[in-house]
């Protein structure tokens, strides 16, 4: 007869620790404490990473622009390769076509857009003042007249103080501009250098971009390469679908807006179409930004023009939502609209305009990485988790 020694009581065998998860809970708490300690240490020695921050700040913009251009031009390069054209010659042909297209836009379209932009900037304050006057007339002749007259004196006082406040604001602004000219020059210089370096980065991305994942995978152990290949493949699919789809959808929206505004006789139809095309790159928030100047112009022009504008905008949104986006974008991202709005708000608050533009693809990349890590965690957990007899019987019944 074999005597089994009773299990010695330990800290992990207490009822409270078992209820919380035992050793796993303690391990998780220790890991959280270590991560917090690492963050605190890095925060205290953050000055060491200033050169790295400056380097990334100068490099990140041309890399982002080159990556976006790469995903837009890669399908065209693959099409040229299908007709047995060498990759380098295909890249040169694409670059020559881009130079020709940019030249046509600069000499044919840009002057007209420039004149319309200057005219709109000069006349938009008049449109806005006329809108305020109309709103003031409506309040004076509506059932809200009594309430409006009560606050009118306060409004007049505020209006009288506007010139003084504007003077103080301009004085402080000029002082800040005078002290910040060097930083502005630095930003402009960095932007120009970024634009100049984009073609070189784009050339090497088009030439060797598909070899980059294989090069990165060679750095990791062989047993990790299959999982990394799956991660890179999913990230490439997500980013490619989003960039190509969003650009095509934005171009379709801009073209439809231009055609619709031209039909109803809206002023600045081409300029408003271009604004709608550019802002539609940002989902949900972009169309709201694009419709604002058009709504003000239509409201000042005539109430009937506002109705026609609403009809055109409704038709464009229906066509885009029911036909264009499902065909071009599909369901590639699998992101709920509410999640998209929260991501845009958060990324915009953290990183400004670049965060609004890059928030969705960044979220898509993070989602792919997290989902793959979670899948690997489940595999590891199921591998080392013992299966009880009841679970084994249930599994066999399902198989049978």
Closest-CA residue to 11 (of 3, 27, 23, 29): 23
Closest-CA residue to 131 (of 295, 291, 279): 295
| 290 and 275 Cβ atoms separated by less than 8 Å | yes
Contacts of 74 (CB under 8 A, 6+ apart): 206, 209, 240
Closest-CA residue to 98 (of 76, 120, 115): 76
What residue has token string 């007869």? Answer: 1
C-alpha–C-alpha distance, residues 139 and 118, integer Å: 33
C-alpha–C-alpha distance, residues 257 and 280, integer Å: 11
Residue 154 pLDDT: 57
In tens digits, the chain (400 residues) has pLDDT values of 455 455 555 655 666 666 655 666 777 788 889 988 888 888 777 777 777 777 777 778 788 888 888 888 888 888 888 888 888 888 899 999 988 888 888 888 788 778 877 777 777 677 667 766 776 666 666 666 666 565 655 555 655 555 555 556 555 655 655 554 445 555 566 667 777 888 888 888 888 877 888 888 888 778 777 888 888 888 888 888 888 888 888 888 889 988 988 888 888 888 888 888 888 887 777 777 778 888 877 877 777 888 888 888 889 888 887 777 776 665 556 667 777 778 878 887 877 777 777 888 888 888 888 888 888 777 766 655 555 544 444 444 444 4
Residue 398 pLDDT: 46
C-alpha–C-alpha distance, residues 10 and 39, integer Å: 32
C-alpha–C-alpha distance, residues 249 and 187, integer Å: 31
- Quick one: tokens of 338? 């509410």
DSSP state of 293: H
Residue 145 pLDDT: 65
- Quick one: tokens of 305? 């023009």
C-alpha–C-alpha distance, residues 94 and 88, integer Å: 10
- What's the start-to-end Cα distance of the chain, in Å? 40
Domain residue spans of the chain: 12-42, 53-144+189-208, 220-379
Residue 90's CB is within 10 A of a number of other CB atoms, namely: 20
Residue 230 pLDDT: 84
Residue 344 pLDDT: 79
Residue 218's CB is within 10 A of a number of other CB atoms, namely: 9
Residue 96 pLDDT: 92
DSSP state of 332: S
């Amino acid at each position: 007869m074999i005597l089994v020694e009773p299990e010695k009581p330990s800290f992990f065998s207490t009822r409270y620790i078992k209820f919380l998860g035992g050793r796993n809970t303690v391990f998780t708490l220790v890991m959280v404490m270590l991560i917090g300690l690492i963050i605190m240490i890095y925060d205290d020695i953050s000055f060491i990473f200033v050169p790295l921050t400056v380097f990334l700040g100068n490099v990140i913009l041309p890399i982002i622009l080159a990556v976006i251009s790469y995903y837009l031009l890669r399908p065209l390069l693959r099409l040229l390769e299908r007709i047995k054209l060498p990759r380098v010659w295909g890249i040169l042909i694409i670059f020559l076509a881009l130079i020709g297209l940019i030249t046509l836009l600069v000499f044919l379209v840009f002057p007209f857009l420039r004149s319309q932009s200057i005219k709109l900037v000069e006349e938009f304050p008049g449109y806005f003042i006329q809108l305020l006057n109309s709103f003031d007339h409506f309040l004076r002749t509506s059932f809200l007249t009594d309430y409006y007259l009560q606050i009118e004196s306060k409004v007049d006082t505020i209006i009288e103080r506007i010139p003084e406040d504007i003077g103080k604001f301009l004085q402080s602004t000029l002082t800040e501009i005078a002290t910040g000219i060097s930083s502005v020059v630095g930003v402009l210089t960095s932007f120009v250098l970024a634009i100049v370096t984009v073609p070189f980065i784009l050339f090497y991305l088009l030439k060797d971009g598909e070899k980059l994942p294989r090069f990165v995978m060679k750095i990791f152990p062989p047993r990790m390469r299959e999982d990394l290949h799956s991660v890179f493949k999913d990230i490439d699919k997500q980013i490619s679908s989003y960039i190509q789809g969003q650009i095509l959808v934005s171009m379709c929206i801009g073209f439809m807006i231009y055609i619709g505004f031209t039909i109803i006789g809206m002023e600045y139809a081409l300029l408003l179409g271009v604004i709608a095309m550019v802002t539609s790159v940002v989902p949900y928030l972009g169309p709201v930004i694009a419709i604002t100047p058009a709504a003000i112009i239509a409201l000042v022009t005539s109430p009937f023009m506002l109705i026609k504008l609403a009809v055109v905008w409704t038709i464009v949104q229906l066509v885009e939502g029911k036909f264009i986006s499902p065909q071009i974008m599909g369901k590639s991202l699998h992101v709920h609209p509410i999640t998209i709005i929260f991501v845009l708000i958060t990324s915009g608050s953290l990183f400004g305009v670049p965060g609004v533009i890059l928030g969705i693809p960044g979220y898509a990349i993070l989602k792919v990485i997290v989902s793959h890590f979670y899948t690997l965690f489940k595999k590891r957990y199921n591998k080392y988790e013992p299966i009880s007899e009841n679970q084994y019987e249930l599994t066999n019944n399902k198989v049978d």
